Amino acid sequence: MLPRYQRITRSGEFSAVLRGGRGVSRRAGGPLVVVHRRDFEATESSEPTRSPRVGFVVSKAVGNSVVRHRVTRQLRALMASRMESLPAGAGIVVRAQPDAASADFGHLSTELDRCLDKVAGE
């Protein structure tokens, strides 16, 4: 489970990461997930340590409630183990694609790593 200070919970923060706004915004996607990244400035961050924060978007296109929650739990577990490697002040939103519902944990992990590497390297 991610602590509250590492989660994006407000709609304004989701919008800022997904739609860009001020600052540098990056996006990388594949058949299973799309990863959006935006680096927040110190004034925009609610946490004084500016730790990286992550949010998840899993729409009804992925599946019913049971499937959506399973995909969210898998993505949350994958991101929890990767939080230390993210830069301070980074806002990450992971958006699941419909094919994520039928993907196994290993493929989801590989795809997430590939997308995270892309948004970090740009």
> Is 8 within 8 Å of 53 (Cβ atoms)?
yes
The CATH number of whichever domain residue 63 belongs to comes to: 3.30.230.10
Of 47, 107, 105, 116, the residue nearest 82 (C-alpha): 116
Residue 19's pLDDT is 85
pLDDT of 16-64, one tens digit each? 898 876 666 789 999 999 999 998 765 554 545 578 999 999 999 999 9
* Segments in the chain forming alpha helices (H): 11-19, 65-80, 105-121
Give the C-alpha distances (Å, rounded to integers) separating 79 from 12, 42, 44, 64, 73: 21, 23, 22, 22, 10
What total number of domains does the chain contain? 1
Residue range(s) defining the domain that contains residue 25: 4-121
- Rounded Cα distance between 16 and 39, Å, is 10
Given this model, what pLDDT does residue 97 score? 97
